[in-house]
């Protein structure tokens, strides 16, 4: 049976997954990587979600599809992953995501 902390971690992970990525601060950095960036998946790690009172945070990985060019003939697609993190708080017992970040520096190396 899941402990209360594990249950809260699961709720947080679900809230991260449900977050509209274009509304996060990470989106501008991701969108700048290609002419048409698509977020495929945001992976969270339940055991690494830290809860401190009503605040929480944790690491995540962004999996994105980067599309270059126009049309089917000239288009190049590539998949990439980037590390990031999230922070939030509980409001009336429900997790609220305050911030989702990404580190795209490896793309430019």
Using CA of residue 47, residue 50, residue 53, residue 56, what is the dihedral sign? negative
Whether 46 and 10 have beta carbons less than 8 Å apart is answered as: yes
Distance (Å) of CA 27 to CA 10, 17, 65: 24, 14, 13
Q: Give me the architecture of the 4-108 domain, per CATH.
A: Roll (3.10)
Confidence of residue 109 (pLDDT cuts 50, 70, 90): confident
- Distance between CA atoms of 15 and 12, rounded to whole angstroms? 5
- Distance between CA atoms of 41 and 30, rounded to whole angstroms? 13
Q: What ranges make up the beta strands (E) of 17-93?
A: 36-44, 50-52, 55-68, 76-91
What percentage of the chain has pLDDT greater than the value 70? Answer: 95
Give this prediction's pTM: 0.89
> How confident is the model over 35-89, as pLDDT tens digits?
899 999 999 999 999 999 999 999 999 999 999 987 666 788 899 999 999 999 9
> What is the residue extent of each domain of the chain?
4-108
């Amino acid at each position: 049976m899941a402990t209360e902390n594990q249950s809260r971690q699961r709720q947080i992970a679900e809230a991260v997954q449900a977050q509209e990525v274009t509304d996060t601060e990470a989106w501008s950095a991701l969108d700048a990587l290609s002419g048409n960036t698509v977020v495929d998946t945001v992976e969270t790690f339940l055991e690494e979600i830290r809860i401190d009172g009503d605040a929480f945070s944790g690491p995540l990985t962004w999996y994105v599809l980067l599309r270059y060019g126009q049309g089917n003939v000239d288009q190049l697609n590539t998949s990439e992953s980037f590390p990031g993190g999230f922070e939030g708080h509980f409001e009336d017992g429900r997790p609220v995501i305050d911030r989702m970040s990404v580190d795209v520096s490896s793309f430019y190396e």
